[in-house]
Amino acid sequence: MSRTARIAAVGAVLAVLLVALTAHLLRTEPRYSGFNSVRPTFPVVDLAPQDLVCQSTLLPGDTAAIEVVVHVVEQPTPPLEVEVRRPVAEAPGASPARGRVDGGYGEGLLSIPFTPVVDASRPVARVCIRNQGRANVQLVGTSIAGEGFAVNGAPQPQLLTLNFRRPGSESTAGMLSTIAQRMTVARAGFVEGWTFWLLAAIFLGASAVAIALVLGKDFGREDRS
């Protein structure tokens, strides 16, 4: 078989890869603005009707919903209300962001949207969740020494797992510039926003070298000497 066959075979593989990559890049779904990275180890609070759990946290910008991990203990699960407040000293008189989710949700991740969207990162925000129904529900997190977590005003050595969601849904392709920015955080000093694109170019360049090697006109020739 000739070089043409090799080009066709490599082209076919690369075409399949390109289709898969394109489909992946175009996949649209809700995306995260951040995580508090607390391990969802076990339920840390059993919220009875009207109970209020509050937690201090860094709140990333572009956040439109709080995501908690729910452990269902009674059906139907109750509606939950969320309030996100900046410290009074930082923003005196500012009204909190509020949101709500209806009851009837299941076990696992639960997103509670709120308005207005938090536009910029806040080093300290207070996230409070109140049980507005008639059944108990448990929220998951882990035990940890520290401050900032309270149930009905009583501090406890625990933390909730909190994930932060961006508004709406976005494609992976639409997130690329955000990914590039995130890749600069807590990295070596030379890593800037453009580095991600440079890395992509280097990988593509290296791949092009590899492909060129196997498509060369001498490739496939046996040494009969």
Type and span of the H or E element at 33:
strand 28-35
- Helix-helix angle 195-215:3-26, to 10 degrees: 160
Cα 88 to Cα 94: distance, rounded to the nearest angstrom: 8
Among residues 33 and 77, whose Cβ is nearest to another protein?
Answer: 33
Instruction: Give the shortest CB-71-to-another protein separation in angstroms.
Output: 15
Amino acid at 34: G
Concatenated DSSP letters of 51-85: -EEEEEEEE-SSEEEEEEEEE--SSSPPPEEEEEE
Instruction: Give the shortest CB-6-to-another protein separation in angstroms.
Output: 4
Among residues 60 and 133, whose Cβ is nearest to another protein?
Answer: 60
Among residues 48 and 211, whose Cβ is nearest to another protein?
Answer: 211
For residue 10, count other CB atoms closer than 10 A to its CB.
13
Cα 188 to Cα 178: distance, rounded to the nearest angstrom: 18
Binding site for another protein (CB under 8 A): 1, 5-6, 9-10, 12-14, 16-17, 20-21, 24, 31-35, 37-40, 58, 60-61, 121, 123, 161, 163, 172, 175, 179, 182-191, 195, 199, 202-203, 205-207, 209-211, 213-215, 218-224
Among residues 49 and 210, whose Cβ is nearest to another protein?
Answer: 210
Check if the beta carbon of residue 61 is closer than 8 Å to that of residue 165.
Answer: no
Among residues 31 and 71, whose Cβ is nearest to another protein?
Answer: 31
Instruction: Give the shortest CB-40-to-another protein separation in angstroms.
Output: 7
Look up residue 107 and give its two tokens.
């076990």
Instruction: Give the shortest CB-168-to-another protein separation in angstroms.
Output: 16
Instruction: Give the shortest CB-99-to-another protein separation in angstroms.
Output: 20
